[in-house]
Amino acid sequence: MACEHCTDPDGDPCLPQYGLAPHTHDSKQKDPSKFDLDEWIGATRFYPREEWPDTFIEDPAAPNHGTWYCSYCKEGLEEHRTRHEKMMLLYGLAQQAELMRKNAKLMKKWYGDYTNYIELLGAAKITDDWVASIRHELAGKEKSE
């Protein structure tokens, strides 16, 4: 249940809320080309990720954007963090499986006499199965909510 710090005067929750990552504004910034675009948008400077509070979860599809949670009650934060970590795991495993398939193709092309490429394809298949299992678990939880 939301607390007094994350509700408006009518008792409606204001958090969680999607928005920009922790940032500051510097109207004196004259030459943004001197700065990394990951840190600057015009006069807006994003703080380094290691300085972000634990109540902000970055959106993996939109750098420097994400969901803010109440710093007092942290309502919904752990559920989001768990889901976010599982989504990042899915993304990483899917990339790994694709890389294994590409490498198996190259191994077969350049070292066809060796059968190691078959083992690499098998590892990619196992990884695909893990991804499917995690996706199934996450989809089941979404339906029950």
Q: Answer yes or no: do 87 and 113 share one domain.
A: yes
The β-bridge partners of 88 are: none
CA Rg, the chain, in Å? Answer: 22
- Considering the domain architecture, whether residues 34 and 55 belong to the same structural domain is answered as yes
Of residues 32 and 12, the one with the higher pLDDT is 12
pTM of the model: 0.57
Query: Which of the pair, 66 or 113, is modelled with greater confidence?
Result: 66
Identify the domain boundary among 68, 89, 122: 68
Q: Which residue has the higher pLDDT, 140 or 68?
A: 68
Residues 94 and 64 in one domain: no
Are 82 and 134 members of one domain? Answer: yes
Q: What is the pLDDT of residue 46?
A: 86
Q: How far apart are alpha carbons 23 and 26 in whole angstroms?
A: 10
CA separation for the pair 128, 27 (Å, rounded): 49
Average pLDDT on 53-76 reads 88
Per-residue pLDDT band for 30 (boundaries 50, 70, 90) equals low
83 and 128 share one domain: yes
Q: Do the strands 62-68 and 40-41 form a parallel or antiparallel pair, or are they unpaired?
A: unpaired
Q: Are residues 36 and 84 in the same domain?
A: no
More confident residue, 102 or 145: 102
Whether residues 49 and 107 share a domain: the answer is no
Q: End of a domain among 68, 85, 108?
A: 68
- Are residue 130 and residue 90 in the same domain, yes or no? yes
Tally of domains in the chain: 2
Residue 23: which domain range? 4-68
123 with 95, same domain: the answer is: yes
Residues 101 and 118 reside in one and the same domain: yes
